[in-house]
Amino acid sequence: MYRSKSFSQREPKPLEKKKALFASGGEAFFIGNPLSIANPRSLKEAKRSNKTQKMDSPQARKTGLNLPPGMSQTSLRLETFSGSFRAASNLGSPRTISNLSSPSKSKSSMCSDRFIPCRSSSRLHTFGLIEKASPVKEGGNEAYSRLLRLELFGSDFGSFSPAGPGSPMSPSKNMLRFKTEVSGPNSPFSPSVLGNDSGFSSETSTPPKPPRKVPKTPHKVLDAPSLQDDFYLNLVDWSSQNVLAVGLGTCVYLWSASNSKVTKLCDLGPNDGVCSVQWTREGSYISIGTNFGQVQVWDGTQCKKVRTMAGHQTRTGVLAWNSRTLASGSRDRNILQHDLRVPNDFVGKLVGHKSEVCGLKWSNDDRELASGGNDNQLLVWNQHSQQPALRLTEHTAAVKAIAWSPHQSGLLASGGGTADRCIRFWNTTNGHQLNSVDTGSQVCNLAWSKNVNELVSTHGYSQNQIMVWKYPSMAKVATLTGHSMRVLYLAMSPDGQTIVTGAGDETLRFWNVFPSMKTPAPVKETGLWSLGRTYIR
């Protein structure tokens, strides 16, 4: 006859064992001897007995736990294996769990019957639940982690093992930086996985524009017999009507760039000589400075003298027109101003140089006049003042080369002679020197391009070259050679593309050095609001 076991003799099922465990903080454990939990009533009795105990022992004060008598905190031992928990005490060997009864599903149960294992302490690899990664994959993850760590924190973050010879590396850098470093010229590609490094250029970036090519040879050469080799004279000028004026000995010749026609304007006679020529801004009248200190004004279209003005005691080597006033500089160290709109044309005298005046230029707005002299000084005069507003003395040689920038108000460039050899840039609003460049040879002339932010300089001993500079970097765009003597004379065509240079070798050479002026794009008359507008002409 079949005889069933009593409930007390029946072996508890695994699920009942799990339900009997006490869950605390995600880990189930027994304190002291394992408790034989038969039903919720036994749990209530155990809890009631624990409340009656007072925590007067030192161990209770320290740990805050109600431990059984004779049991210390160090006697606890937790063991986890295969997702189940066992507990034992060093007071005795663990007893077997017996006489377990299924707990009642009453709502008055004081503890939860839900088993939540601690995955961090579980040994899942024992059951083959975690797939072992291949060495190749682990190596790739390690290499990527190293590279990412270097990108984010730099090479000095923490203590990491050095990378092997085959490990990918990234340049150490800060991702947050206050200054962009200069790009290195030897590495055109960036190995960075997070972006381009400041020291590298991207493979897909736009390549730099090639430097502008300037023809190295002149496209035209004219003979200029009797062209004087005198640093202090100014014998070549190009009008806005595209006519070139050249002073040769005692005569002035006009050469039309449109048809290459040459016209003799005047002859001063055997006892006089031409020391300077200067066209008005409209290009119809030309002024001539003579060796006797006179200034003559001629009509360039009719070849007729309009007026003769005296005042200088010796040769007049430099002239400068603004919209209504003519300024002349002489070896007598004075600057005279004339207004040709009135019969008594003399306006005033500017005294400030201690030696011959060899450079004169009005600013583009006609408010300031810059003058350079053989006393190594550069003076800036206001329009209605007879005292220099600025006296700049940084040059160590004669200042003949003077040019105002057409692109920036108050920017003045000046060049020094053989002992100085520098091109200096000035802010005339405060008198500060902005930059200085040693050219290596005497600076004879300066001229700004009106099409691009560049300037050209001509030089004397010892190179006799023509140089094109990019402002403000002052990078050399081109160096032109061809003259065998000092390049003392310089003028620019009305379109701003061609320059003409003259030297004591009695030649005039024409060079194409500047690009044409960029024309603005035409405005389109089609759009959202134009409604396809058309014009009837």
pLDDT of residue 91: 41
Mean pLDDT in residue range 159-178: 51
69-78, 425-434, 448-457: range with lowest mean pLDDT: 69-78
Instruction: Clarify whether residues 505 and 410 are in a common domain.
Output: yes
Same domain for 94 and 228, yes or no, is no
Model pTM score: 0.61
Q: Is residue 475 part of a domain?
A: yes
Residue 120 counted as domain residue: yes
Q: Is residue 125 located within the same domain as residue 225?
A: no
Element (H, E) at 489: strand 487-492
Final residue belonging to a domain, choices 94, 116, 134 = 134
pLDDT, tens digit, for every residue of 396-409? 999 999 999 999 99
| Coil/strand/helix, residue 141 | helix
CA distance 436 to 474: 10
**Stretch 95-112: mean pLDDT:** 48
φ and ψ at residue 226, rounded to 5 degrees? 70, 20
Is 519 inside a domain boundary?
A: no
User: Rg of the Cα trace of the chain?
Assistant: 49
Q: In terms of domains, do 368 and 471 share one?
A: yes
pLDDT at res. 38: 44
Q: Which two tokens stand for residue 87?
A: 């507990």
Q: Quick one: pLDDT at residue 269?
A: 93
Of residues 506, 489, 421, 501, the one with CA closest to residue 461 = 421
Q: Looking at the structure, tell me whether residues 505 and 388 fall in a common domain.
A: yes
Say if residue 290 is in the same domain as residue 433: yes
pLDDT higher for 440 or 94?
440
Q: Are residues 117 and 241 in the same domain?
A: no
Of 202 and 453, more confident: 453
Report how far apart, in Å, the C-alpha atoms of 222 and of each of 241, 246, 357, 485, 506 are: 19, 11, 29, 15, 9
pLDDT band at 115 (very low <50, low <70, confident <90, very high): low
Mean pLDDT on 326-345 = 94
| Single-letter residue type at 415 | G
Q: Which of these three, 134, 162, 180, is where a domain ends?
A: 134
Mean pLDDT of the chain: 77
The residue with tokens 């996985």 is 193
Domain extent, residue 101, equals: 1-51+73-134
Rounded average pLDDT over 232-242: 97
Distance between start and end Cα atoms, the chain: 125
Residue pLDDT, tens place only, 256-273: 999 999 999 999 999 999
Kindly indicate the confidence band of residue 47, based on its pLDDT and cuts at 50, 70 and 90.
low
CA–CA distance, 399 with 14 (Å, rounded to integer): 107
Peptide bond into 462 cis (omega under 30): yes
pLDDT digits (tens, 9 = 90+) for 484-509: 999 999 999 999 999 999 999 999 99
Task: Kindly indicate the confidence band of residue 469, based on its pLDDT and cuts at 50, 70 and 90.
Answer: very high
Per DSSP, the three-state class of 486 is coil
pLDDT value, residue 140: 65
pLDDT at res. 146: 81
Asked if residue 35 belongs to a domain, the reply is yes
Number of domains in the chain: 2
- Residue 85 lies inside a defined structural domain of this protein: yes
Question: Which of the four pLDDT bands, split at 50, 70 and 90, describes residue 149?
Answer: confident
Q: How large is the average pLDDT for residues 421-426?
A: 98
- Give a yes or no: residue 427 inside a domain: yes
- Residue 105 included in any domain: yes
Does a structural domain hold residue 209? Answer: no
- CATH number of the CATH domain containing 472: 2.130.10.10
pLDDT of residue 229: 96
Three-class SS state of 166: coil
Whether residue 454 sits in one domain with residue 349: yes
Residues 114 and 243 in one domain: no
Please report the pLDDT score of residue 504 as a whole number.
Answer: 95
